[in-house]
Amino acid sequence: MGGEVTRFLEALGKRVLYFHQILGEMLLLQGRIFYYFREAPRNIPSILTQMSIIGFETLPVASVMAFFVGMVLALQTGVELEKYGGQNIIGAIVGHSMVRELGPVMTSFLVAGRVGSAMAAELGVMTVYEEIDALRTLDIDPVRYLAMPRFIACIICVPALVIYSDFVGIIGGAIISNLHPHIFVSYSTYYDSLTAALKMREIGTGLTKAVCFGSIVALVACYVGFATSGGARGIGQATTRSVVLSFMLILVADYFLTRALM
């Protein structure tokens, strides 16, 4: 019995130490990225390329996701509110839900799954096949050359995508609210309810979350990519690890940001 307890404590201790090691290494990487922000004007082409990948190429998927999330949200809440004669406030509910919570979280999940995994795989390939070492040999810092442009592009594009997703989701909610026979809310009523409830504070909360989540996606992808090892198998594992870790950190950050910004 005593031996089992000892082995359990040893395993738990190793997990705790490993977690703190990863956290410390990510914080160091974050600090180096911030340090190289001063080099951003010299890396405008790289930043714009990453912004195109993160922002423009994600728009079609974000449009479909946001539109149907808004429709489902309006449908589920509208049918329930109709039982109590409260469907006139559906615009406020959809707006609040999209702007404060669903827009930032769902869009960040989409970026983490689509772009963060690709970043981790790309950097992982460069690490495994020693391209990162070649950059260092040429006196080019990989953090400045690879991580910093991706980080800046993420913290710019994710908030922009969130604003776009909020808008599309609200439109989807308006359409289903007006067309569904058991809800039927006019567009004017929906708009009045939305504008009465949605203030700059809610918009600011959503954008603050978006910036934080965008930084998480970029930081995790770059960290996992730089730490990749083990050939093709390691690259695949790094891609999965990047997505899972991003999702977990986004949810944890969402809780603490929600508490802080309430």
Q: Does residue 124 carry a pLDDT above 60? A: yes
d(CA 52, CA 61): 14
Helix axes 103-111, 231-261, angle to 10 degrees: 170
Mean pLDDT across the stretch 243-257? 93
What is the pLDDT of the chain when averaged over all its residues?
A: 89
Cα 40 to Cα 34, 46, 58, 115, 220: the distances in Å are 10, 9, 23, 21, 20
Cα–Cα distance, 262 to 90 (Å, whole number): 21
pLDDT of residue 9: 79
Contacts of 110 (CB under 8 A, 6+ apart): 58, 61, 62, 65, 161
What's the length of the chain? Answer: 262
Q: Which has the closest alpha carbon to 250: 111, 90, 152?
A: 111
pLDDT at 214: 95
* pLDDT of 1 higher than 70: no
Counting residues of the chain whose pLDDT is more than 90, the rounded percentage is 54
Burial class (CB in 10 A: 0-12, 13-18, 19+), 130: exposed
* Residue 139, Ramachandran bin (φ over 0: left; ψ between -120 and 50: alpha; else beta): left
| Residue 55 phi, psi (nearest 5) | -90, -65
Return the axis-axis angle of helices 103-111 and 200-226, rounded to nearest 10°: 20
Q: Is 259 helix (H, G, I), strand (E, B) or coil?
A: helix
- Residue 2 has a pLDDT of 59
Amino acid letter, residue 242: S
| Predicted pLDDT of residue 90 | 87
Say what the pLDDT of residue 19 is: 79
Task: Say yes or no to pLDDT of 14 above 70.
Answer: yes
Give pLDDT, residue 200: 87
Using one digit for the tens of pLDDT, what is the confidence trace for 63-120?
Answer: 999 999 999 998 888 888 777 777 788 888 899 899 989 999 999 999 999 999 999 9
pLDDT in tens, 195-233: 888 888 888 999 999 999 999 999 999 999 998 888 888
Angle in degrees, 0-180, between the axes of helices 59-83 and 103-111, rounded to the nearest 10:
150
Among 9-23, 39-53, 97-111, which is the least confidently predicted range?
9-23
User: What is the band of 5 on the pLDDT scale with cuts at 50, 70, 90?
Assistant: confident
Q: Is pTM, for the whole model, over 0.85?
A: yes
Confidence at 178, pLDDT banded by 50, 70, 90: confident
